[in-house]
Structures are given as structure tokens and as C-alpha cells.
Amino acid sequence: MASTAVPPAVPTGDMQVAVVTGVGEVELRSEPLPVIGAQDILVRVGACGLCTMERRLFSGEKQIYPVAPGHEVAGRVVEVGEQVVALPGTPRVGDLVAVDLLTRCGTCTTCRRGRSAVCRQPQGSALADGTISMGAGLADFVRVSASQAYVTGDIPVAQAAMGEPLACVVHSVRLSGMLAGDRVAVLGAGYMGRLHHALCRAWGAGSVGLVDVSSSRLEEAADGGADWTATPQTAGDIGGKADIVFVTAAAAGLFELAVEICDSGGTIVLYSAFPKDLTGSFGLDHFHHEEITVAGVYSQEPQDWRIAAGLLRSGALSDDLDRLVTARYSLETVADALQQATHTLVYRVLVGADTGA
């Protein structure tokens, strides 16, 4: 569907970008407006989601300072590079897009094998003053290659800003090999667990249950259409065996639970990032004789983005996505947004000009 929004004017001058400078500290800095290349586009940020990375930086769990984070971005295109402006499929000025701010080299062994999610090239860049950029999407504008912007149609910007995490979940479910009719268990009923539930249900899972220690999150998952909910202690009795088990939380004991409830011929997907020292010991013969697959998944790839953008445009997940917006803030109140996202139980906190804050 063509955008009906009035095309925004091409901006000039400087812009603001949020920089985390220390534990619990963030400031807005002036940054030169990005100058696009011939194959780039310039996007006015409408909303940027705060994910685990932002929370870890702000809380001090990950101390890399100063740093400009923010990679779950959606907004309106305000300028298109001269070499791509006339190409079919290129986002046009005024289009609402979700953008992929990760870099991939395209030349390392994993990229050449089509597994660019685990590209060997280090991620990140820098602002004009040398500040490390991890997306720098908490800003007025972002520049991105036109090939890494996906038109989402006329949907709420809050939903479009979920394009990146949704692409990650598409990657996860795609690599799981889930088939229509499969029984699915999702361990962890947080934001990513709920996205797994929504996508598996949309793709025809026979049943999808969620497991969590939080009674409030289990209640919300049930309200959101989960076929069953359970604590880790009751998952086997309530949900029974599953064909696909997604581990979307990093708590100790969840992989052991996944092994326990995964049925013969099933697949366990390790989606969450785990502490480096978290290990487990298992009898390998069980995986052999029961033909159980254990798959690690990380990030997303271009084909996952194409699918995610199509799902966003279709509206198939709109009700699920709306349920996962916890709070909205303007860029000027990014400190309050980071405080809430870091210190309270949330799904997604959004920051940006079009969040309705």
C-alpha cells in the first residue's frame, strides 16, 4: 500500500543523538546530520525500541562508554540516494520503513555461506566525535543503505519499530524447522517469548504454550492467546511433550527443562544469550537415540527481514504487537525511558518523535 503521509522536508543542520556515558547516565549530544551516499536513504526516526543491549549498557552490566545505542528503528524516509531512487523496490520519500542497522561484510566465510547472522566482521561504527555507535538509533535521524530498509506500509510506527526483533524471531522459527501442527513450548514469557508465540501461532502451530516464573507474565500470555501456561516446575504436567522448544530466557535450569519436555524427533532452539559460565552435562546417547536436535540461533538475515516486513504490512500480528508496547517516550525524555526499561518489568519501551509520548 502506498504511503498517504505528507513527504517530510529534507532536513539541514545538526541533530540530536542519545549517548550513554556511564552507569545510569545518558545525555543528548549534537551530531552532524548524516550525509547519504548514492545508495543510501535518510530516515527520520519515529520510534526506537529499547532492547536487552540498551538495558545492559545503562545498568552497567555491559560497560562500554561512551556509546550511542539503539537498533530497533522505524521512521519515515526523507531522502533517497541518486543511484537507487528510481529502482523498483527502493523505499520512496515518505514511506514508513523498518531499518536493519547491523553491518555485514559479505566476504567472510559465514557470509559467503549465506549465514550472515554470524558475520565475522566486528559490528559498530562511530559518531563524528569518535563515540562508539551501536546503531545510534536513539536519534533524530539515521542513515542506512537502501538495501537494509524495509517498507512496512501504513501501520503504527510502534509496530514498525518491532521489525528488527521480529526478524530475529523469524530467523529462530525458520531454523527450528517448525511445521504446521507442531506442538510448541516457549520457555520465557518476556518480549521475545511472546513474539515467538505470536509467530508460531500465525504459522500454524498446533499449540503454543509459555513457561515463566512470573505469574503476571503468565496471565498476560494467557490473555494473549497462549494455549497453556506453566511455571518451570509444572510445565511437563501441564503442557506435556513438545515438538519444538524455544529457550528465550537465560535462567539456569531451562535447558534441562527443554530436554525433559522435548519429544522424540524434536528440536530445542537456544534463542537467548546465556552467561558465558553457564554449562550443563547431559547424556549424549539421549540426543542420539531420540533424534533430538539442538540449534543455536543468533540475530537475523536479509531473508528474515523480508518475511518480517511482509508480516508487518499484512497486519497478521498487529494485535499481538500492540499488546507488547509497555511505554512510549520522546527523545528528550530518553533518560526516563532507560530508567523504566532497566528497572521495571517491561516488554518494549519505545523512544522517538512519533511514539505518541
| pLDDT grade for 7, boundaries at 50, 70 and 90 | low
pLDDT of residue 3 exceeding 50? no
279: Cβ contacts below 8 Å, ≥ 6 apart: none
Among all chains, which residue has been given the C-alpha cell 530508567? 339
Going from the C-alpha of 216 to that of each of 84, 229, 264, 307, the distances in angstroms are 48, 11, 32, 31
What number of residues does the chain have?
A: 357
Phi, psi dihedrals of residue 199, rounded to the nearest 5°: -70, -45
pLDDT per position as a tens digit, 156-189: 999 999 999 999 999 999 999 999 999 999 999 9
Q: How far is CA 180 from the centre of its chain?
A: 24
Report the pLDDT value the prediction gives residue 42, as an integer from 0 to 100: 98
Q: Which domains does the chain have, with CATH numbers?
A: 14-162+324-351 (3.90.180.10), 169-296 (3.40.50.720)
pLDDT per position as a tens digit, 134-156: 999 999 999 999 999 999 999 99
CA distance 23 to 202: 40
Report the pLDDT value the prediction gives residue 2, as an integer from 0 to 100: 45
Report the pLDDT value the prediction gives residue 1, as an integer from 0 to 100: 44
pTM, to two decimals: 0.95
